[in-house]
Structure 1
Amino acid sequence: MLVAQHGSLHRATEHMGVTQSALSKALGRLEADAGMRLFERSSRGVTLTLVGESLLARARQVVLATHDFEQEIEAQRAARSGKIRLAATPYLVATVLTPVIARFLAHRPLASFAVETRLTLGAIQALQSGEVDFACGGLTADVPDDVCRAPLQPLNLRIVAREDHPRRPAFRTLADLANERWALPQTSSSLYQVLGHQFAELGLPPPRVSVEWTGSGVPIAELLRNTDLLGLLPHRALTGPDGHGLCVIADGVRLPEPEVALLWRDDGYLSPLCLEFREALVAFNREGEIDITHKPKD
């Protein structure tokens, strides 16, 4: 899989820590066992044949199945201890995951968490590759058929700026913000699309993005506090530490609330600890009774 990913024997050997000769011999044995050529070699690198592509897809399934089996065995040994791996958008890490994790650890002190921030597409990719147990993000893009979801509270977004922004008194409508500079997630994200669609409906040009972030942990609130940039923050975040020194502008503007959800693989194994955390997260976000739903299959 690493040879296919890197497209080069040299780069694959650097990643694996083996010699190129040893890797070439291993590939030769693999092709001999298969009875056909799996790789096309050229001066530009190494690419998979059609048969090689098919074998790679099967190999990925085996890796995922092996990982799930190991997780299941480990869960049986560890019972309520173990690690929960999550990928989520930065807004949801701060406003949804953090308080639930804090409560969860209070009564499951042997649990541990690995949390990484990614925008929704990256979180789903991490989920499908088996890197994480759960993804948490927006639902504006199509969710793959093999992914299940539990709806969470929509994000109640506000347009914000630093309290002493020199043009703050003039910020009443979106038209007043047309020439301002912004710190926003990339254009494919659900949050950018919420704002971009509002601008488009009013015949305004797209927001002028000076800082585009990809969900890798950029301290957006701190950036807004120390610049004249505008940004988006959930209302819940404004009531906490992130809201210090910031204020809502264009208060009469009501942005659509992006739908968000907790996502997991339909065919993936979830340990008892993961199942318990899933229920805790859904309960934290429940308004009335929300059922865990699966995306219909063909």
Structure 2
Amino acid sequence: MMLSREIDYFLLVCDYRNIAKAADELGMSQSALTRAIQRLESQLGTTLFVRTSRGVEPTPVGEVLRKHSEHARVAMQDAEHEITQMTAGLRGRVRIGVGQTLARHISQRLLSRLIHDRPGARIQIQVAFSAELFELVEAGALDFAVTGLPDVLPANLLARPLTQIEMCVVVRSGHPLTKIAAPGISDLLPYRSAAPRQDVHARRVAEQILASHGSDLHHVMLESNSWETILETVSSTDLFTLAPWYHDFEQQWAGRLQRIDIPELTRQQTIGLVQRQDAYVSSLAERAMALLISGEWSLPPEQ
């Protein structure tokens, strides 16, 4: 990192909100860290932190410096990655975020092609729900992510739609709901659900719809950050979940999960490629994105 030492110290104090903990992390004395922060404050002619009962908090000016310094840190990381590739002639590294419901599909369709196409590459995959992936892309920890798109993206992210999949209610094979000819939301309400964390877009949409029909937040019995855990649990209990239904998914869970067509809860989900605006993109990341955009990975239609 090529930011000034004082800025690096300042950012660490912002992270910990505590001088003693930040000094511990840096392996320096608390007084030495305090002097470094004071030098920065003297240089800027303002106070950057105020003391609280728990430690310190950035002042309004400190918050402005923190925001711009974080952006500068991400920009410097981009520059370092680009310079390293230019000077060392490396084949490159690509860091790809993948939505949990797409991980198996991406492994089978994209990664095999990319590995064959770029045998000298280093590929890092982060599997998570969309909200976490957006945060990682914003922070510069991922080159791009492939995930479901919400109605509104964070302002500094760009999205390119790739395909659409259908989201619907999913239950175990043989669930009582599968024996109803045309089930509606009223038939669903007696059952509880398994769901990802609350900031996941699909869960928020489903809860709004269920709430308008008399359900409440207590319908969620199991909350997990693991999509595999959610589906395994649904496949062996009477819980339901909202899940993507496409050919690969149907084949994977054949005989264990069934879809339930409830019109209010069946909707199209756009899958897209998300990256940070104005971010440096390596040639390897460009190739990976080109494979996605070209449609070489597209989800097959339902059979």
TM-score (norm 2): 0.81
Q: 1:18 to 1:193 in 2, by over 3 A?
A: same
1:48 aligned onto 2:58: yes
1:41 and 1:230 map into 2 onto residues whose CA distance is 48
Partner residue, 1:8: 18
Is 1:123–1:135's contact at 8 Å kept on the other side of the alignment?
Answer: yes
Q: Secondary structure at the match of 2:269?
A: coil
Q: 1:243-263 deviations in whole A, cap 9, x for unaligned?
A: 154232424647111223111
Q: What letter corresponds to residue 87 of structure 1 in structure 2?
A: G
> Secondary structure at the residue paired with 1:154?
strand
The alpha carbon displacement at 1:278 in A equals 0.5
- Secondary structure (helix, strand or coil) at the match of 1:132 reads coil
Q: Does 1:258 align with 2:269?
A: yes
Q: Distance in 2 between matches of 1:157 and 1:95?
A: 16
Residue 277 in structure 1 maps to residue 298 in structure 2: no
Label 1:200 to 1:36 Cα distance change in 2 as closer, same or farther (>3 A): closer
Corresponding residue number in structure 2 for 1:133: 143
| TM-superposition CA deviations, 1:46-71 (whole Å, max 9, x none) | 11223322222221122111101011
Q: Offset at 1:87?
A: 2.6
Residue 256 of structure 1 aligns with an amino acid whose one-letter code is R
Q: In the alignment, which of 112, 115, 121 is matched to residue 111 of structure 1?
A: 121
CA contact (8 A) 1:187 1:193 kept: yes
Pairing 1:32–2:30 present: no
Partner of 2:132: 122
CA-CA distance at 1:181 after TM superposition:
1.5
Which amino acid in the other structure matches residue 145 of structure 1? A
With 163-172 and 70-79 compared, the bigger mean Cα shift is at 163-172
Query: CA 1:218/1:154 → structure 2, altered by over 3 Å: closer, same or farther?
Result: same
Work out which of the residue numbers 222, 225, 234 in structure 1 matches 2:244: 234
Distance change (3 Å), C-alpha of 1:48 and 1:194: closer
- Aligned residues: CA RMSD: 2.8
Match in the other structure for 2:8: none
Which residue in 1 is equivalent to 2:207? 196
2:146 aligns to what SS in structure 1?
strand
**Equivalent-residue separation in structure 1 for 2:24 and 2:239 (angstroms):** 42
- Displacement, 1:78? 6.0
The CA deviation string for residues 72-93 of structure 1, in whole angstroms up to 9 with x for no partner, is 1123256672221123321122
Structure 1 regions of 5+ residues with no counterpart?
288-298
Q: Structure 1's 63 and 249: CA in aligned 2 closer, same or farther, altered over 3 A?
A: closer
Note the alpha carbon deviations across 1:90-136, whole angstroms, 9 max, x for none.
11223346521122112212222222233322221211111111133
Residue 38 of structure 1: CA displacement? 1.8
**Is residue 229 of structure 2 the alignment partner of residue 219 of structure 1?**
yes
Deviations 1:162-188 (A, max 9, x none): 224466424841322111111112343
- How has the CA–CA distance of structure 1 residues 105 and 240 changed in structure 2, closer, same or farther, with 3 Å as cutoff? farther
Q: How far apart in 2 are the matches of 1:43 and 1:209?
A: 37
List gaps (5 residues or longer) in structure 2.
Answer: 1-10
Percent identity over the alignment is 27
User: In structure 2, do the counterparts of structure 1 residues 258 and 15 end up closer, same or farther at CA, with 3 Å as the change threshold?
Assistant: farther
> For this pair of structures, how many residues does the alignment match?
284
SS in 2 for 1:140: coil
Kept after mapping to 2: 8 A contact 1:158/1:248? no
Q: Residue 68 of structure 2: which of 58, 73, 76 is its match?
A: 58
1:161 aligns with 2:183: no
- What's the CA shift for 1:275? 0.5
Q: Which residue of 2 aligns with 1:295?
A: none
Tell me which moved more, 102-111 or 90-99.
90-99
Aligned residue identity for 2:45: G
CA distance in 2, matches of 1:49, 1:87: 34
Secondary structure of the 1:228 match is coil
**Displacement of 1:209:** 1.0
- Matched with 1:294 is none
Instruction: Tell me, in whole angstroms, the C-alpha distance in 1 between the residues paired with 2:39 and 2:269.
Output: 51
Matching residue within 192, 196, 206 for 1:181: 192
